Amino acid sequence: MNEETPFQRLVAIVERLRGPDGCPWDRRQTHRSLRPYLLEEAYEVLAAIDEVEASPEKLREELGDLLLQVLMHAVIAAEAGRFTLDDVINGLADKLVRRHPHVFGDAQAGDAEEVARTWEAIKAAEAAEAEAAGEARPAASLAARLRRVPGGLPPLARAAALQREAAAVGFDWDSPLPALDKLSEEAAELREALAAGSPDRIEEECGDLLFSLVNVARLAGVDPDAALAGANARFTARLEAMERRAAADGLRLEDLDLEALDALWQSVKDGPSRETRGGEGFPSQPENEAHRHQSKGGDP
């Protein structure tokens, strides 16, 4: 008799939770009701990746929570007769083999960039074949590819995804420097909008400036979400350090004028403390454990 694998055990647990004698909370979940949990768990994984050197067990736990979301959606779909978990797994396996002919076939790939180009070419061929066969799948036109970029992505991530699709048809800068010139142009237009005092135009130009900055980051090989997350963390740590330094002198930040606050900011920013420099050793943000527990995509 074959011993049950850890994955089989997990699937059986999820199926029991969804079964007639299972958990009332799990049983009432739908694809739509689970949407916020899937997004939250993905962000939890991203946060754990940033701390993996200090706490690898945290990433292990969060990957498990994300896997639970996948299993819940697969089991719900199977209950409705749409597809099974085996369909999901086999579909992924077939796709990986098909899109890696340099590993599972006779094709050659010299570097990662060539692999990416091959991947995109295979995706385009698959879409064209599906369209020719009359399948309900979008064609490989740019418009169709842009529509496939999920609307639910955070704006920075969606901007980068849209720019990658445009780049796939050659509509892109050659390097970060021309994109940086465009950023300066957008900053000048925002300055004009601020001078004109038009709220609608100010909002539009702010959006253009942010979009251009994402372009610079993408072309420089920087994840804009990760870059902004790092800036948020540095800003938070520096403000906290400012508050501690002020408190040590018997002062409150609220009682200082802007000049004094700026001087304190510079002293913290230029100081030797690692907590204000970002990167390794940076303090993680406190987590609301009660909220986190209740918002998980498993039992409340």
DSSP state of 4: P
The mean per-residue pLDDT over the stretch 21-36 comes to: 94
pLDDT digit string, tens, across residues 191-250? 999 999 999 999 999 999 999 999 999 999 998 988 998 899 899 999 999 999 999 999
pLDDT digit string, tens, across residues 201-211? 999 999 999 99
pLDDT at residue 87 greater than cutoff 90: yes
* Predicted TM-score (pTM) of this structure: 0.61
Which of 138-152, 198-212, 248-262, 283-297 is predicted least confidently? 283-297
Query: Which is nearest to 165 in space by CA: 153, 177, 183?
Result: 153
Buried/exposed 241-271: b ≥16 CB within 10 Å, e otherwise:
bbbebbeeeeeeeeeeeeeeeeebbeebeee
Structural domains of the chain, ranges and CATH numbers in brackets: 6-148 (1.10.287.1080), 224-295 (no CATH)
The secondary structure element, H or E, covering residue 29 is none
Q: Which one is predicted more confidently, 278 or 53?
A: 53
State the residue for tokens 């230029």.
270
**Separation CA 176–CA 68 (nearest Å):** 39
pLDDT at residue 295 greater than cutoff 70: no
